[in-house]
Structure 1
Amino acid sequence: MKKIAILQSNYIPWKGYFDLIASVDEFIIYDEMQYTKNDWRNRNKIKTPTGVSWITIPVRVEKLSQTINQTQISNNNWVTKHIKTLQANYAKAKYFKNHKDFVFDLYHQASKTSSLSEINFIFIENICNFLNIKTKLSFSTDYNLIEGKTERLIDLIKQSKGTSYISGPAAKSYIDENLFNDNNLNLEWMDYSKYKEYNQLYPPFEHGVSILDLIFNEGENSSNFLTH
């Protein structure tokens, strides 16, 4: 059995994103999807003394049909700004000193490209390594795409020799489960309701923040707070 997940890239995603990656054999980054404003593609949440706050990569939106992998950065100052923001809000975290060089080096790598998709991949790939996630990462551009939302997913799964597809629960609104049955493919849904709390700054506890929050607070123990 080969398990597949297919999802757009996000900027420094939350732990559930990495849990989904860890639960499959191949994770296909679907950055040929339309870029959506005010979404997770170019921003995420962190904890601050005054509550949860967004950090956002500034991007250029030049046309409505623009895809994620066509999206370019509009201002190169974002790297310095985000490093300063993380330093200001996580300096007191238990494992910040241990892992700030690792994280900030990813930002320096990211500063060398203007592609949002490439920036997201730098963080996703290296944080997977940090969490000891061995899943194969690929891109939808490695495969041929056909028309139809569910049909395209099924075809991607077949091309990647998958037998089972794991999806986030948000996709229940559009996935046609009957098509999976018709194609002898198993469909599973991720359950994000069983996470345990970790040592986090600035109560109350918040699960839905960037994975960097977990890394700075729990360090090498971070993978213990995933479910896969």
Structure 2
Amino acid sequence: MSVVLHPTYFPSIATFAVIAQKEIIWEVFDNFQKQTYRNRCYICTDQGRHMMNIPIKHVGVNEGRQLYSDVVLDKSTPWQKQHWRTLETAYRTSPYFEFYEDDIKPLYENTEEHLFNFNVKTVETILDCLGIQKEFGTTLKYNAQLEHMADGRFLVEAKKDIEIQYQEYEQVFGDRHGFINNLSILDLLFNEGPNTVDYLMNQSLKFL
């Protein structure tokens, strides 16, 4: 069964396990909501769990809600440079950062205008790193209730914890903070490298 998801910024491990295991349809017609994984992800630094947030251009109150697919990146601040520097600082000593950095870094040098498209590129880049071939469908309209498809759109909610404890793997700062569950796929990739595929394929999707 296909699963409908929101493309998010370097998705969480829970979301990427769904992407790896299932046929995915991107939700295109939803409204943008604040404080979700649409424009944030969580990694681990020497200070522990750390949020990287993408600034966006907000529409005026009089214009009402805007579609997620219409949200434009705010390039008035050097967020791309800051995010890449944060990743370098956090993961330079991880086993596989140098192996994948040439694939990841160009995302922080691109001229993409829209958040939705940028997020899709982060997903596609990770899939390329892992050697996973995927084609994605898109919704044709917004439906609150889905028929003949599983609804994974709740995974976009950053404040909603998935009640599953993932198998622990070695994390760069694990000796300081212990294992931090369900971080961005980047944490798994930089620490586990090619083992990431098996890890994702072996995760339970009961939360769907």
In 2: Cα distance, 1:139 partner to 1:50 partner: 38
Q: What is the aligned partner in structure 2 of residue 174 from structure 1? A: none
Query: Aligned-pair distance for 1:194?
Result: 5.9
SS in 1 for 2:2: strand
In 2: Cα distance, 1:54 partner to 1:82 partner: 10
Cα pair distance change 1:57/1:91, threshold 3 Å: same
How many pairs are equivalent?
189
- Based on CA coordinates, which of the two structures has the bigger radius of gyration? 1
Query: Structure 1: where are the runs of 5+ without partners?
Result: 158-164, 172-190
Residue range with higher mean Cα deviation, 194-203 or 112-121: 194-203
Preserved contact between residue 11 and residue 185 of structure 2 (Cα < 8 Å): yes
In 2: Cα distance, 1:20 partner to 1:193 partner: 14
In 2: Cα distance, 1:46 partner to 1:215 partner: 11
Q: Which structure exhibits the higher relative contact order, with contacts defined as CA atoms closer than 8 Å and separated by 6 or more residues?
A: 2
Query: Structure 2: where are the runs of 5+ without partners?
Result: 156-161, 204-208
1:47 aligns with 2:48: no
In 1: Cα distance, 2:27 partner to 2:117 partner: 12
1:34 aligns with 2:25: no
Q: TM-score, normalised by structure 1?
A: 0.75
Query: Aligned-pair distance for 1:139?
Result: 2.1
Query: Aligned-pair distance for 1:82?
Result: 0.9
SS in 2 for 1:55: strand
Residue range with higher mean Cα deviation, 4-13 or 62-71: 62-71
More strand by share: 1
SS in 2 for 1:73: coil
Preserved contact between residue 24 and residue 166 of structure 1 (Cα < 8 Å): no
Q: TM-score, normalised by structure 2?
A: 0.82
Query: Aligned-pair distance for 1:20?
Result: 0.8
In 2: Cα distance, 1:169 partner to 1:206 partner: 23
Preserved contact between residue 11 and residue 43 of structure 1 (Cα < 8 Å): yes
- Root-mean-square deviation (CA, aligned residues, Å) is 2.2
